[in-house]
Amino acid sequence: MPVGRLLLRASPLNKIICRNAFTFTKPDYSKPNMLRVGLAFGSTAVLWALLFKQHSDDVQEYKTRNGLS
> Rounded mean pLDDT of 18-30?
78
Other beta carbons less than 10 A from residue 49's beta carbon? 10
Q: What is the pTM assigned to this prediction?
A: 0.57
Q: What is the pLDDT of residue 58?
A: 98
Q: What is the pLDDT of residue 8?
A: 58
Q: What is the pLDDT of residue 25?
A: 83
Q: How many Å apart are CA 35 and CA 43, to the nearest integer?
A: 12
Residue, of 57 and 3, whose pLDDT is higher: 57
Residue 15 CA: distances (Å) to CA of 8, 9, 19, 22: 12, 11, 7, 14
Q: What is the DSSP letter of 46?
A: H
Greatest mean pLDDT among 3-7, 10-14, 52-56 lies in 52-56
Q: What is the DSSP letter of 32?
A: -
